[in-house]
A and B are shown apart, each in its own frame.
Chain A
Amino acid sequence: MSDKHKVTIDGITVEVEAGTSILNAARQIGGDIVPPAMCYYSKLEGSGGKCRTCLVQVSKGSEKDPRPMPKLVASCRTTVMDGMEVKNITSPEVVEARKGVVEMLLLNHPLDCPVCDQAGECHLQDLGYEHGRAKTRYEFDRRTFEKVDLGDKIQLHMTRCILCYRCVFTADQITNTRLHGVLNRGDHSEISTYISKAIDNDFSGNVIDVCPVGALTDKTFRFKNRVWFTKPVQAHRDCDHEKCNGKVTLWYKGEEVIRVTARKDQYGEVEEFICNTCRFDKKQTSDWVIEAPTKISNKSVISSNHYDTMKPLPVVKTNPQLLEANKEQFERDTRL
């Protein structure tokens, strides 16, 4: 029993490797009992513990020391002990605290989802829907920032940032040089380059993928389309960058590749980081070998992209006038 630990989360018992965090143990169980995580990123060492959305209650410390932990703990940074009992959604205290955290996270968030490129794949949006209140109790001006271009491919809109530090860890661990970081403190703190430098290296585009909100967006995709109108497919190419294996998700609108991202798992975490060439420069179908459509959870708004509506509506097909007016669209769709 030295390397396997038994942990019970909301009444479901699972055996995990020693050293696993509560959050990862819950992910092995899956389903509703997985605490939400805004700042934790399994691929990034040292991430987590900051957003406090994954707070859980430890009602029994371990088999040896059954005392409960006095405070709610961040499940992403607390390792399991043998015989530990954890309460997540079964604890009213946790539900209440999480509601509070979501409210705090949304306090200075502009809630500009209607014009935000991240809408539809935004973790904060999901979190708000699942755990938040319908109305905010905050009656003051929200913190705002000017939009900043970090180089010609990435735009930073600090107003939306929730300071999860993921992009900082990414730059530290994936790229050779980190050119951005957190300036100032408290609610004035901001992600910034020192001073208004461009972020320029082969893997810098990954900060867009790890950003849970719309603070870091792809300038080649900004305002091109809503994600739920696009059609994701898995593809790969023979990338000559040594650290990139070219496995990506292509986001199609019609027959145009309008965005390339890394492949993401069900928790929104990328499977493998990709290089900037793949992300920003290869936007022709001919650059890629297409594998299969990306599986999208039926809970996601992206799955509502009804592929068939891209074809002309029945009324268009029968009305000659509309047929003429939509000729171009019709031809494209039938070709597809």
Chain B
Amino acid sequence: MGRKLLLEHINVPGINTLEVYRQKGGYRSVEKALKQMTPEEIVEEVKKSGLRGRGGAGFPTGMKWGFLAKPEGVARYLVCNGDESEPGTFKDRYLMTYIPHALIEGMIVGSFALGAHVSYIYLRGEMMPQIRILEKAIAEAKAAGFLGKNILGTGYDLELYVQPGGGAYICGEETALLESLEGKRGNPRIKPPFPAIAGLYGCPTVVNNVESIAAVVPIINDGGEEYAKIGVGRSTGTKLISAGGNLKKPGVYEIELGLTCEEFVYSDEYCGGIANGKTLKAVVAGGSSVPILPNNLFFKTANGEARLMSYESLSDGGFATGTMLGSGGFIAYDEDQCIVRNTWNFTRFYHHESCGQCSPCREGTGWMEKVLHRLEHGHGKMSDIDLLVDVSKKIEGNTICPLGDAAAWPVASAIRHFRDEFEWHVTHPSEATTRNFGLAHYADPLPKKEETAA
């Protein structure tokens, strides 16, 4: 049984209320941080913990906090990025729905560490229930003296606001989020300057994922070194994984980083295997924007080692044979799923969500969507497959924000690993519209290279 830090009391009735949350040891970290620690010590503790951003990129949180510029007389802000919109990821919503106080507690500690007196929680507009839950929780915290003027008599003031966004995926990109928070069109800014220098209203700002902020609570309670003991290597602590797709027990799981992929998928403690006795065909390990992997490459790395659920192990082998932990949106596909259709579906999402600011992403995502639509519906040509690879290369790395990369990677990786299936869609157009390609050789042990079954 892995250690639970964030979801330890998730099943306690009434944990969403301040009263029960306090009984279970909530807001200890606020008392400890505000009364016994200096802001520098908190940042140092977070650095020691090795906590890495849980939103996708995996940038060390402590380092990010350390980069924050601290000019005299200029306000600083902590902004919580709750714009979770990646297909396959729903961990933050879960956390905010059931333990809203964990986030608020983390926000207070984080704001104190960064010297922010006004902090924002930016949520996607569709999360209206969560917005109400958080606002209620903030009111409770305020009544109990954890927010507002002179918190716990320490002289520290903090106002916390919840800001609903308009419901755009792009507003999860930190600079687009800041633009949106300022009331403008959610277009990503051109960097530099980075938000740590000039963010919200031109002031130094830190933008963190919901889970990263909540993870500060156990770090302060138990100490950074204690937190760093969990996990492997540079992947420390626990991570929420939102498992979905053809699994027996889909849901949000808190895992210790370093758990083997095999255990995560098949053990009864976690996903419990593939639903309906089918075989696993492919896995998207970290939300729709990370490269998709076939069964065999997911459980074993290219050099035959068992793959672990950690930042390093999942990206082992680079993009040729690896993927990324991303935001933890785990999607499993069984043998009945069509990879071409899935790729088209993802691309349709990115086409819809591209902000339209820079040309490769604006035009390229639409192009890929149209070509994939044609392939999926049996009108494709063999040359389309190489065209897709070429277009994805032209988008990747040439855009202002990572949405271009996120749109290009799933397409490039699907073709890299499932080229047979794409070709089958071209050679058997009428069959492709009535049945799926099936499992083929994607679950075979790695060294064996077999002919396509269909």
**A residues in contact (CB < 8 Å) with B:** 48-52, 55, 71-72, 74, 77, 97, 100-101, 103-105, 107-108, 137-138, 140, 162-163, 165, 181-182, 184-189
Contacts and interface: CB of A to CB of B under 8 A. Distances in A.
Given A101-B394, A185-B168, A52 B359 contact: yes
Nearest to A188: B356
Contacts of B354: 185-187
Contacts of B370: 140
B398 interface: yes
Given A74-B400, A101-B398, A186-B355, 12 more contacts: A49-B358, A50-B400, A52-B359, A52-B360, A52-B398, A163-B359, A181-B185, A182-B185, A186-B362, A187-B354, A187-B356, A187-B365
B41 interface: no
A205 B288 CA distance: 45
Contact of A189 (B356, B367, B394): B356
A100 B394 contact: yes
A186 B368 CA distance: 13
B356 A74 contact: no
A55 B400 CA distance: 11
Contacts of A162: 359
Given A74-B190, A138-B367, A187-B366, A100 B398 contact: yes
Query: Which are the 9 A-B pairs with shortest beta-carbon distances?
Result: A100-B394, A189-B356, A49-B190, A104-B363, A186-B354, A107-B363, A187-B366, A71-B397, A186-B356
Contacts of B393: 100
Contacts of A186: 351-356, 362, 365-366
Given A108-B363, A138-B367, A50 B398 contact: no
Interface in B396-435: 397-400
A188 B369 CA distance: 14
A52 B399 CA distance: 7
A178 B66 CA distance: 39
B303 interface: no
Given A97-B398, A186-B352, A50 B363 contact: no
Contacts of B398: 52, 55, 71-72, 97, 100-101
Q: Which of B354, B356, B359, B398 has the most CB of A within 10 A?
A: B359
A148 B366 CA distance: 24
A189 B170 CA distance: 14
A72 B397 contact: yes
B195 interface: no
Interface in B2-19: none
B364 interface: yes
Given A74-B190, A97-B394, A108-B363, A185 B400 contact: no
B387 interface: yes
Interface in B342-395: 351-360, 362-367, 370, 387, 391, 393-394
A187 B351 contact: yes
Contacts of B190: 48-49, 74, 77
Contact of B362 (A72, A74, A137, A163): A163
Contacts of A185: 168, 170, 353-356
Nearest to A100: B394
Contacts of B364: 104
Contacts of A107: 363, 366-367
B306 to A, nearest CB: 30
Contact of A50 (B351, B358, B387, B397): B358
A163 B397 contact: no
Nearest to B353: A186
Nearest to A140: B370
A184 B356 contact: yes
28 contacts: A50-B358, A50-B400, A52-B359, A52-B360, A71-B397, A71-B398, A97-B394, A100-B391, A100-B394, A100-B398, A101-B360, A104-B360, A104-B363, A104-B364, A138-B367, A140-B367, A162-B359, A163-B359, A165-B357, A184-B356, A186-B354, A186-B355, A186-B362, A187-B351, A187-B366, A188-B356, A189-B355, A189-B362
A112 to B, nearest CB: 18
A109 to B, nearest CB: 9
Interface in B188-222: 190
A162 to B, nearest CB: 7
Contact of B356 (A71, A140, A182): A182
A77 B191 CA distance: 8
A140 B374 CA distance: 10
A212 to B, nearest CB: 12
Nearest to B365: A186
Contacts of B366: 107-108, 186-187
Nearest to A109: B363
A103 B358 contact: no
Contacts of A165: 357
Contacts of A97: 394, 398
Nearest to A76: B190
Contacts of B394: 97, 100-101, 103-104
A270 to B, nearest CB: 23
A74 B188 CA distance: 15
Contacts of A182: 185, 356
A49 B359 CA distance: 10
B172 to A, nearest CB: 14
B349 to A, nearest CB: 11
Nearest to A55: B398
Nearest to A102: B359
Contacts of B353: 185-186
Contact of A105 (B170, B359, B387): B359
Nearest to B394: A100
B359 A104 contact: yes
Nearest to A99: B394
A163 B356 contact: yes
Nearest to B354: A186
Nearest to A182: B185
A165 B356 CA distance: 11
A181 B362 CA distance: 17
A97 B394 CA distance: 6
Interface in B159-191: 168, 170, 185, 190
A206 B351 CA distance: 32
Contacts of A100: 360, 391, 393-394, 398
